[in-house]
Copies of this chain bind each other. A is one copy, B any other.
């Protein structure tokens, strides 16, 4: 125990809280070595992804440690799902300021343990470091996908239908609620929206089942319109979205009924962690069946189109009268959720 911080030594922390999270994964060597060994199953290859969450940027300082841990893991699980891959293991870089207590670390590790059990992944290595700044949890996640089958951003085709899972905008509206920007909202709706901000629900059960159906796929973390734009730019195509088709939760509908401008918050805000994918016409019934059997809503919201000659790929959102929502086009710069450089995993 070092008297300065009230934390046990880093070796004790690892032995007590992190080493148990490696049980069941032989290549992790019980976190007693300097590195881990991992192999993909025969016929598969490894998919790797990293994303860091930062206190004050990606989570509010009052969020319980258990939820911080689960969000750190889940934002990466969401990417893995959108790529059609199945997650297996992860590395963790954890930076802790001196204000952190042992009970915080215990709760953080309990959050990891809970989601490890839910998603079938293991901690196989990491780094615990002190910092003079905010808490940071960077996860590097490893998954498997059949060789050559990973779902890419850039493989959409003109005439494809654009689909999204779940509902859009809840997390961004939850953040607005937590900032007191939605004063008329009832408590149950506010709780629902804030929970969606604090704890993503990655679509891991669905992602691998999109292999053979989806042409292109991306997880929605920067916002529905921004991520659709990313998909379009890499595919060299454009898109038209029907705003009224975007699936909204009852809570989000209540917010927008009260303040219609929050439709833009919903479709441009981030942290949805739903999957946006494209699929060719003719697969509607198979996708509907997939939605039923997985019990995950899947909604068609628009169509991929050819990009006009001499123009850049663009995303157009139409209102119920078929008019383009002009303000959305400005959303790229004005609706950024962070003041300076934003968080972008690549």
Contacts and interface: CB of A to CB of B under 8 A. Distances in A.
Contacts of A143: 35
Contacts of A343: 10, 127-130
A35 B341 contact: no
Interface stretch (A62-70, A147-155, A171-179): A147-155
A220 to B, nearest CB: 11
Interface in A35-58: 35-40, 45-52, 54, 56-58
Contact of A35 (B29, B85, B126): B85
Contact of A34 (B96, B98, B219): B219
A131 B133 contact: yes
The copy count of this chain in the complex is 2
Interface string A79-105: 110110100000111011010000000
B342 A142 contact: no
Interface string A316-346: 0000000000000000000000111111111
Interface stretch (A11-19, A238-246, A247-255): A11-19
Candidate in A5, A38, A45, A133 with the most chain B CB atoms within 10 angstroms: A133
A192 B7 CA distance: 36
A50 B126 contact: yes
A88 to B, nearest CB: 11
A257 interface: no
Given A52-B93, A85-B35, A346 B126 contact: yes
Given A35-B150, A343-B127, A345-B127, A50 B10 contact: no
B5 A341 contact: yes
Interface residues of A, number: 78
If over half of A's interface residues share one DSSP class (helix, strand or loop), that class is named, otherwise mixed; here it is mixed
Contacts of A34: 49, 79, 82-83, 153, 218-219, 345-346
Contacts of A147: 39
Nearest to A75: B127
Given A140-B50, A152-B29, A128 B341 contact: yes
A164 to B, nearest CB: 16
Contacts of A121: none
A212 B339 CA distance: 54
Contacts of A4: 339-340
A127 B58 CA distance: 13
A152 B346 CA distance: 32
8 contacts: A11-B344, A34-B83, A34-B219, A37-B48, A37-B150, A39-B40, A50-B140, A52-B127
The 5 closest A-B pairs by CB, nearest first: A133-B133, A140-B140, A129-B343, A127-B345, A10-B344
Interface of A: 2, 4-5, 7, 9-11, 13-14, 18, 29, 31-40, 45-52, 54, 56-58, 79-80, 82-83, 85, 91-93, 95-96, 98, 124-134, 136, 138, 140, 142-143, 145, 147, 150, 152-154, 218-219, 234, 338-346
